[in-house]
Structures are given as structure tokens and as C-alpha cells.
């Protein structure tokens, strides 16, 4: 009789670190299709982030403010450098640029309604300005993107500020891709494209190529708007120190820096996970650049990419940002990755629709398919009804209110009457990586790696 | 006031543009002459009324940018991005034009009597462009709608990644870009070229032009289009 080998259960099932099941899946998928994967949302891998910082609340050496009663200002002014009409916000939390096309018209309207109630701004995206979002948004930032889809001077004149988009954190150096299933008749018409094509967005602007050209382009936008509107320049975080300096040189009123955790509606996974630097590192570089040019407070800084909580907002401000912009958090507030959607006064189970996409609530990144089970990132006539503007606006308003309460309560605990008084000195880092990237001392020490002891 | 002259040697550009946006729109001038442009950038940008502007000399970047309804003539040459994102109206360059002429124009007519640089008609979105001379490489890159008539030659990669825009070339084409192809000229094409040449005031035989349009093989993402994206 043959003897069976002894089974060492754990050893014989040891998973490889380099060739784990995710990597095996990736290779098999590549072998099956010959195309890179495209998906939505931002980087999923573990990155140093704002959770790696903590606040040093007031104690003996600092005097706190009463958490609920004492005044703590949140007013934020953007675009004070050249614009005759700077943007005045009630809170330093804005809605990031997301396109009509990626999002449904209902969602764009929800964003406008909630932002208006909270006294903050919304931003258009690749695909132009819809009447719904202009109507619903008191303060609307109009993006000028490489593709120039739907870009026109009437909307430039209708906007409250203009954001020249050089790149975004999810894909610095890359253009976009709106897959055909989202190019419905209205989207196609706005973008001057045939219906249903897989639409590629350019990665470079058609009429300028470098920072010296951009200076002239910005001047053109100023001339067209008679120098009234603030001009923002948005960059994906890579060589942030140099890029922010060049944006300032080109004449930006406001610089928007989007870290690699920033989301997208559809981009190659290899971009999302492998191009760009974490937001934490980008904020430090951006602030250093402004300080180096003596432009802190003259050119405002908006930070985006993985801002989820009021604590994240407070940390970004303490590091030197003037405001933040939120995309994915906003979508989650509207129902993204939720198990149910709310329609006709009741909750409906969406799990079967997630399953049909091969995913489940909590893991979904299928924005690119246009089959969003909760009606957020879709152009489908049936699915988009799963989110109505009033319901979406109510949830988003609550989310923004919560963030703002968290922000002010942290500021008060640090003894600040104005959230813009938060400073790097209020922070400590929990990891060496975060200390090095954020330029914040490791908790319990005076040590910032790279800065000596 | 029917006619008005701005001298950029003594008057700031901002005054000219503000006048064109406001007073000209209110009908205070039908014809504006701009003297001594001296290559200044952003002359007559964002116009929004049927005023006629004549720039006597050379213009810098973005002359006539985002034009709507107005008619802008440049007697000399124009810098980068002339008539970029034009919506309607006409921009006429009597000399040469630099890179990105008529970039992303949604409508209107851009006429360049001389040659145009790189990327002429890039991202064209419905405007028409007539070039009396030749165009540089990567012209009509990703052009989505509208027509381009090129009376001279074209550089490399003409019409790369074209969508629905149509190009007509009389001279030699160094190379076509990805997804662009020659197609037979129909009577409709000949009539379109004749009409555009007539509007541009150029005298060529419309039958001498070749038609270039999209193969549409990149409209849907697939593994067989090796590295063509």
C-alpha cells in the first residue's frame, strides 16, 4: 500500500507576498483581455494619510475655547490676488470638480442645492456646465479642461470662478476615458461626440504647452471676464513644490492640489495606484512653495484627495491649506456603495445590482460602467431616478454640516477662534513616514525626518 | 459712433477689450480699428456682438479667442491659438498663423491666407477652417466636428484620432494620423469645399481636393487596436 505524504497544512497553502491572489487575478485578467483595467474612485492601497496625524489640544500651555458656545469663524475668501470679485465661502469645504457625464444631472443638482445651503461652491467637470447646476449653485467654479468639451464663453461669463485643470490626483499626466455606455444623447450633444463612443479626453490643453503659455492663457480668461473672476489652477500631486511655484508664476489666484487618493470616474488602474504622491506629502510641498515665494495668504491653496472627515479638513488647514475640496466623500454621502437606494419614500435593496457588476456594497468602483446601483454615477434613464435632487441634497448638507462641526470643535479645542488659525504647531505625527511627508514632528519628539534633531 | 480707432501704443489692452465687451455690444461702434498691436496677446478676445474689428499689424496669442458673432481681421500674422474656441462669426488672418490655430472652435469661420503651424484645428468642435497655405504636423488632432480646407500641404499625422470632423487637402500630406483615411469626394463634399473657398475669398478648384475622415476604428476600445490609442 502506497504511503501518503504528510500534509503540512499551513506550509502547503502559503500565499506568496509578491504573487498574492490579487496579483494572480491581475495577470490572468491581462492575459484574457489584452487591455489594461479601467475603473472609478481613487487609490485603494494603504497610504500615509491624515489619520497619521493627531492634534495637540489645549491644556496647561494653551487655553481652549468652549466647544459649543464660543465663536469660531469658518469664513473663507478665495481669489484675492487679482480678481475684482473674490469668492466668499461660509465654510472652507468645497465640492470638487466632477463632470455631468460621470454623474447624473440629478446628482449635479443635489450638489448645487446642498452647497448653496451651506454657503460653499460646486465645480463643473469635463463636459461643460449644465443649466441644472448653474441654477442650483450660488457659487459655481467652471473648469477649463484639456478636452474643452462644451466649453464656451457664455458659460465662462456665467461662472463665479474659472479653474484651469492641468491634472488630477488620480491620473497626473493622463487624460480621461468616458466609456460609451455613459455617452447618452444629452452627454454626446454637450461634448459634440457621436452617441455611445468610448470617449477619450486629451491629457494636454490644445492651445498652450507650458507655464509661460499658461500665463498668457490665464490672461486671456481674465480679459474675457474683464478681470472679475478668480482663476484657479488645479494640478495632480507629483512634483508639487515646482508645480505650485509655476502655477503662481503663471498668475493663478488659487492653486488646487489633488493628491493621489483623489477619485476619478474612469481611469487606468495603473494610473490610480502608481502615479502621483499622497495628499499628505503634497500639502507640505504646496505650502512650502507658497512660503518660498512669499505668497502664503496672497494665493490661496485648496487641497483635495482623500478628505473624508472634519478631522481631515482640520489637519489640511493646520498644515496650511485655505480650503479643501471633496469628491468621493460627497458621493458616499449621496449613497455611493450603500446597500439601498431611497425612492418613492422607501428604501430598496440594491445588492442584486451590485452583484450583477461582480461586486458588493463597500467594494464598488464601477463608476466607469455607468451602471451605478444607487443612481449616482450613471446616465441610465432608470438608474438615475434612484437619486432625486432633494434627497441627495439633504444627505449632502448633513455631511457638510457634520464636517464643519467637527472642524470647529477641533479648532476650539486647540484654542482657535478661527479655523484658519490652526497651524502646523498644533499637530504631531504618529508614524515616521507621516512625519517626513507632512513635515510634522513625530509625536513625543521634536524629530522631523530629514530635518535633524 | 460708427467707427473708432484704438491705438495700443498709447491705450491699454484692457480698455480695448472692455470697450468691445460693453460699449460695442451696446452699439456704440460698428467698426473698430486697432493700431500698433505689436504682437500683443489676447486682442479682441471674448467678443459677443456683431462688431467688426480690424487689427492692423501682427497679433500675439489668442487673437479673437472665444469669438461669438464678431468679425475680426488681422492684417499681419497671428500667434498661438488664434480664434481658439470660437463659437460663431469670423476671424481672418491675412498673414501666417502659429500653433493651435482655431483650437476647439465650436463654430464660425477661421481663414488663414498664409501657412498655419502645428496642431491647426486641434479638438475642432464644429467650426470651419480654411488655410490658404500649408499646415504643420498634428493638425486636426482629435477633431470632433466641422471642416478644414487646406489649400497647401499638411505635415505628419494629419487627422490623428479624428472623430466626425472632415478634412480636405489639395497638396501633399506627409502622413495621416491613427484612424484617419482618404475617402472619395462626393458632390456634397465638392459643394462644401466650393462654399468654404468662396467664403474665404480663395480661388482653387474644389475638385482638386482630397477628403480625409475617420475610419472610426478607435470609437470602441478594443485589444486589436494595438497601441493606437
Any chain A CB within 8 A of the CB of B103?
yes
CATH architecture type of domain A50-438: Alpha-Beta Barrel (3.20)
Say if B165 is an interface residue toward chain A (CB within 8 Å): no
What cell numbers appear for B60 in the block?
Answer: 500675439
Q: Is A301 within 8 Å of A322 (Cβ atoms)?
A: yes
pLDDT at B199 over 90: yes
Supply the pLDDT for residue A9. Answer: 83
- Per residue in A135-163, pLDDT (tens digit) is 999 999 999 999 999 999 999 999 999 99
Q: What is the mean pLDDT of residues A49-56?
A: 98
Instruction: Report pLDDT for B1.
Output: 63
With contact defined as beta carbons under 8 Å apart, do A91 and A418 qualify? no
**Torsion angle of the four alpha carbons A251, A252, A253, A259, in this order, in degrees rounded to the nearest 10:** -160
Mean of pLDDT over chain B: 96
CB-based contact B142 A200, cutoff 8 Å: yes
Give the pLDDT score at B227.
57
CB A376 within 8 A of CB A96: no
With cut-offs at 50, 70 and 90, classify the pLDDT of residue A361. Answer: very high
Q: Please state whether B140 falls in left (phi above 0), alpha (psi between -120 and 50) or beta.
A: left
**Quick check: A207 and B81 CB within 8 A?**
yes
Residues of A in contact with B80 (CB under 8 A): 207-208, 213
Largest CA distance in chain B: 63
Phi, psi of A361 (to 5 degrees): -55, 135
Query: pTM of this prediction?
Result: 0.95
Stretch among A216-225, A338-347, B66-75, B113-122 having the lowest mean pLDDT:
A338-347
Rounded distance between C-alpha atoms, residue A325 and residue A385, angstroms: 26
Tell me if chain A has a CB within 8 Å of the CB of B77. no
Whole-number pLDDT of residue B103: 98
Closest Cα to residue B63, out of B47, B85, B41? B41
Asked whether B140 and B158 are in contact (CB, 8 A), the reply is yes
| Cβ–Cβ below 8 Å for A224 and B65 | yes
Query: In the prediction, which pLDDT does A18 show?
Result: 96
Query: Per residue in B149-185, pLDDT tens?
Result: 999 999 999 999 999 999 999 999 999 999 999 999 9
Q: Where are the domains of chain A?
A: 50-438
| Per-residue pLDDT at A334 exceeds 80 | yes
Query: Which residues of A are less than 8 Å from B24 in CB distance?
Result: none
Quote the pLDDT of residue A166: 96
pLDDT at res. A275: 96
Residue B135 has pLDDT above 70, yes or no: yes
Which residues on neighbouring strands pair with residue B128, listed in sequence order? B109, B147
- Would you say B66 and B48 are in contact if contact means Cβ atoms under 8 Å apart? no
Q: Report the distance separating Cα A238 and Cα A170, nearest Å.
A: 11
Q: Which of A148, A153, A192 has the CB atom closest to B68's CB atom? A: A153
- Considering chain A, what is the average pLDDT of its residues? 94
Integer Cα distance of A150 and A152 in angstroms: 6
A55 strand-pairing partners = A427
Contact indicator for B211, B184 with CB cutoff of 8 Å: yes
Looking at residue A121, its pLDDT comes to 98
Q: Which residues lie closer than 8 Å to A158 by C-beta, 6 or more apart?
A: A129, A134, A140, A142
DSSP letters, A328-355, are HHHHHHHTTT-SEEEETTEEEE-HHHHH
Q: In angstroms, rounded to a whole number, what is the distance separating the alpha carbons of residues A139 and A356?
A: 38
Contacts of A224 in chain B (CB under 8 A): 17, 45-46, 65-66
Name which of B119, B161, B223 is nearest A34 (Cβ-Cβ).
B223
Residue B225: band (very low, low, confident or very high) from pLDDT cuts 50, 70, 90 = low
**Average pLDDT, integer, range B27-48:** 97
Q: How far apart are CA B224 and CA A9, in angstroms?
A: 44
Interface test with A, best of B34, B45, B87, B110 (most A CBs within 10 A): B45
Query: Are the CB atoms for B47 and B28 separated by under 8 Å?
Result: no
Task: Dump pLDDT digits (tens) for A66-88.
Answer: 877 899 999 999 999 999 999 99
Domain assignment of residue B182, given as a range: 37-214
Give the three cell numbers for residue B156.
505628419
Chain A nearest CA to B78, separation (Å): 13
pLDDT tens figures, B84-130: 999 999 999 999 999 999 999 999 999 999 999 999 999 999 999 99
- How confident is the model at residue B220, as a pLDDT? 85
pLDDT of residue A93 exceeding 70, the answer is: yes
Region A157-182: mean pLDDT is 90
Using pLDDT thresholds of 50, 70 and 90, give the confidence band for residue B224: low
Query: What is the tally of structural domains in chain B?
Result: 1
- Assembly ipTM: 0.96
User: Any chain A CB within 8 A of the CB of B220?
Assistant: yes
Residue B194 has pLDDT above 60, yes or no: yes
Higher pLDDT, residue A189 or A163? A163
- The DSSP element (H or E) to which A405 belongs, if any, is helix A389-413
Instruction: For residue range A25-49, list pLDDT tens digits in order.
Output: 999 999 998 888 889 899 999 999 9
Residue B167 included in any domain: yes
Task: Report the percentage of chain A scoring pLDDT > 70.
Answer: 98
Average pLDDT over residues A111-121: 97
Residues of B whose CB is below 8 A from A156: 46, 66
- What was the pLDDT predicted at A50? 98
Q: Indicate whether B229 belongs to any domain.
A: no
Nearest-by-CA chain A residue for B60: A216
Whether residue B229 is predicted with pLDDT greater than 60 in this model: the reply is no
Banded pLDDT at A2 (limits 50, 70, 90): low
Give the one of A192, A208, A226 whose C-beta lies nearest to B126's C-beta.
A192
Provide the terminal-to-terminal Cα distance of chain A, rounded to the nearest Å.
71
Give percent of chain A above pLDDT 90: 81
pLDDT of residue A406: 97
CB-nearest to B219 from A157, A197, A227 is A197
Name the 3-class secondary structure at A24.
Answer: helix
Residues in B closer than 8 angstroms to A219, CB to CB, are 41-42
Q: What are phi and psi of A296, to 5 degrees?
A: -65, 130
| Poorest-pLDDT segment among A65-79, A205-219, A229-243, B193-207 | A65-79
pLDDT at B222 (0 to 100): 72
> Which residues on chain B are in Cβ contact (under 8 Å) with A207?
62, 80-81, 84-85, 100, 103-104, 122
- Chain A residue whose CA is closest to B19: A226
> Which of the 8 DSSP states describes residue A441?
P
One DSSP character per residue, B98-163 reads: -TTTTTT--SSEEEESS-B-TTTTTT-EEEEEEESS-B-TTTTTT--EEEEEESS-B-SSBTTT--
Chain B residues inside the 8 Å CB shell of A220: 41-42, 45, 61-62, 65-66
Chain A partners within 8 Å of B84 (Cβ) = 206-207
Residue A198 has pLDDT above 90, yes or no: no
- Other CB atoms within a 10 A radius of the CB of residue A402 amount to 13
Confidence category of residue A402, pLDDT binned at 50, 70, 90: very high
Q: In Å, how far are B8, B84, B144, B181 from B159, measured between CA atoms?
A: 38, 18, 10, 9
The region, left, alpha or beta by phi > 0 then psi within -120 to 50, assigned to residue B110 is beta
In this prediction, residue A304 has a pLDDT band, given cuts at 50, 70 and 90, of very high
Q: Is B121 left (phi over 0), alpha (psi -120 to 50) or beta?
A: left
CATH classification at residue B99: 2.160.20.60
Three cell numbers at B47? 467678443
Contact predicate A414/A422, CB 8 Å? yes
pLDDT of residue A348: 96
Of all residues in chain B, the one with the smallest CA distance to A34 is: B223
Amino acid at each position: 500500500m502506497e504511503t501518503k505524504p504528510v500534509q503540512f497544512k499551513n506550509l502547503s497553502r502559503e500565499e506568496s507576498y509578491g504573487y498574492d491572489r490579487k496579483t494572480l487575478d491581475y495577470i490572468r485578467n491581462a492575459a484574457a483581455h489584452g487591455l489594461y483595467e479601467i475603473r472609478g474612485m481613487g487609490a485603494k492601497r494603504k497610504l500615509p494619510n491624515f489619520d497619521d496625524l493627531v492634534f495637540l489640544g489645549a491644556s496647561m500651555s494653551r487655553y481652549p475655547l468652549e466647544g459649543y458656545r464660543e465663536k469660531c469663524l469658518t469664513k473663507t475668501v478665495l481669489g484675492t490676488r487679482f480678481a475684482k470679485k473674490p469668492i466668499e465661502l461660509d465654510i472652507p469645504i468645497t465640492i470638487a470638480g466632477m463632470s455631468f457625464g460621470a454623474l447624473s444631472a440629478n446628482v449635479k443638482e443635489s450638489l448645487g442645492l446642498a452647497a448653496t445651503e451651506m454657503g460653499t461652491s460646486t465645480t463643473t467637470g469635463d463636459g461643460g456646465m449644465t443649466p441644472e447646476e448653474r441654477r442650483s449653485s450660488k457659487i459655481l467654479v467652471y473648469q477649463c479642461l484639456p478636452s474643452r468639451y462644451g466649453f464656451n464663453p457664455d458659460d465662462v461669463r456665467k461662472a463665479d470662478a474659472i479653474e484651469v485643470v492641468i491634472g488630477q490626483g488620480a491620473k497626473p499626466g493622463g487624460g480621461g476615458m468616458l466609456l460609451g455606455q455613459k455617452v447618452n444623447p444629452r452627454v454626446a450633444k454637450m461634448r459634440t461626440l457621436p452617441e455611445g463612443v468610448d470617449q477619450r479626453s486629451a491629457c494636454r490643453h490644445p492651445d498652450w504647452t507650458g507655464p509661460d503659455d499658461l500665463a498668457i492663457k490665464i490672461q486671456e480668461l481674465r480679459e474675457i471676464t474683464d478681470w472679475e473672476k478668480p482663476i484657479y489652477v488645479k494640478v495632480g500631486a507629483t512634483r508639487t513644490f515646482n508645480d505650485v511655484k509655476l502655477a503662481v508664476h503663471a498668475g493663478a489666484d488659487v492653486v488646487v492640489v489633488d493628491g493621489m487618493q483623489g477619485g476619478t470616474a474612469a481611469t487606468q488602474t495603473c494610473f490610480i495606484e502608481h502615479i502621483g504622491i499622497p495628499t499628505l506629502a503634497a500639502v507640505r510641498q504646496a505650502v512650502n512653495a507658497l512660503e518660498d515665494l512669499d505668497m502664503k495668504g496672497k494665493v490661496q491653496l485648496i487641497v483635495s484627495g482623500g478628505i473624508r472627515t472634519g478631522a481631515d479638513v482640520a489637519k489640511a488647514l493646520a498644515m496650511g491649506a485655505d480650503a479643501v475640496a471633496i469628491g468621493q466623500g460627497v458621493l458616499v454621502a449621496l449613497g455611493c456603495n450603500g446597500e439601498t437606494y431611497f425612492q418613492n419614500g422607501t428604501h430598496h435593496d440594491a445588492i442584486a445590482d451590485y452583484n450583477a457588476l461582480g461586486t458588493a456594497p463597500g467594494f464598488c468602483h464601477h463608476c466607469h460602467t455607468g451602471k451605478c446601483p444607487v443612481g449616482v454615477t450613471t446616465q441610465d434613464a432608470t438608474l438615475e431616478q434612484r437619486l432625486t435632487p432633494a434627497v441627495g441634497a439633504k444627505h449632502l448638507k448633513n455631511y457638510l454640516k457634520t464636517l464643519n462641526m467637527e472642524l470647529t470643535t477641533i479648532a476650539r479645542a486647540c484654542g482657535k477662534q478661527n479655523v484658519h488659525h490652526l497651524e502646523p504647531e498644533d499637530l504631531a505625527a504618529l508614524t515616521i513616514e507621516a512625519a517626513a511627508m507632512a513635515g510634522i514632528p513625530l509625536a513625543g519628539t521634536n524629530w522631523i525626518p530629514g530635518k535633524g534633531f | 459712433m460708427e467707427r473708432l480707432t484704438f491705438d495700443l501704443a498709447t491705450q491699454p489692452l484692457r480698455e480695448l477689450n472692455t470697450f468691445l465687451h460693453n460699449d460695442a455690444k451696446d452699439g456704440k461702434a460698428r467698426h473698430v480699428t486697432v493700431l500698433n498691436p505689436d504682437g500683443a496677446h489676447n486682442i479682441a478676445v471674448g467678443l459677443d456682438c456683431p462688431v467688426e474689428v480690424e487689427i492692423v499689424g501682427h497679433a500675439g496669442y489668442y487673437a479673437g479667442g472665444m469669438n461669438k458673432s464678431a468679425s475680426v481681421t488681422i492684417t499681419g500674422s497671428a500667434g498661438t491659438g488664434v480664434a481658439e474656441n470660437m463659437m460663431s462669426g469670423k476671424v481672418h488672418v491675412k498673414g501666417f498663423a502659429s500653433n493651435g490655430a482655431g483650437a476647439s472652435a465650436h463654430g464660425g469661420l477661421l481663414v488663414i491666407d498664409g501657412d498655419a503651424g502645428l496642431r491647426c484645428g486641434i479638438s475642432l468642435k464644429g467650426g470651419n477652417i480654411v488655410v490658404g497655405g500649408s499646415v504643420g504636423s498634428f493638425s486636426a488632432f482629435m477633431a470632433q466636428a466641422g471642416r478644414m480646407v487646406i489649400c497647401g500641404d499638411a505635415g505628419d499625422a494629419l487627422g490623428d484620432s479624428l472623430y466626425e470632423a472632415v478634412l480636405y487637402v489639395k497638396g501633399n500630406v506627409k502622413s495621416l494620423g491613427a484612424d484617419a483615411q482618404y475617402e472619395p469626394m462626393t458632390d456634397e463634399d465638392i459643394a462644401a469645399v466650393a462654399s468654404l473657398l468662396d467664403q474665404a475669398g480663395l480661388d482653387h478648384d474644389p475638385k482638386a481636393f482630397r477628403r480625409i475622415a475617420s475610419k472610426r476604428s478607435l470609437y470602441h476600445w478594443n485589444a486589436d487596436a494595438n497601441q493606437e490609442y
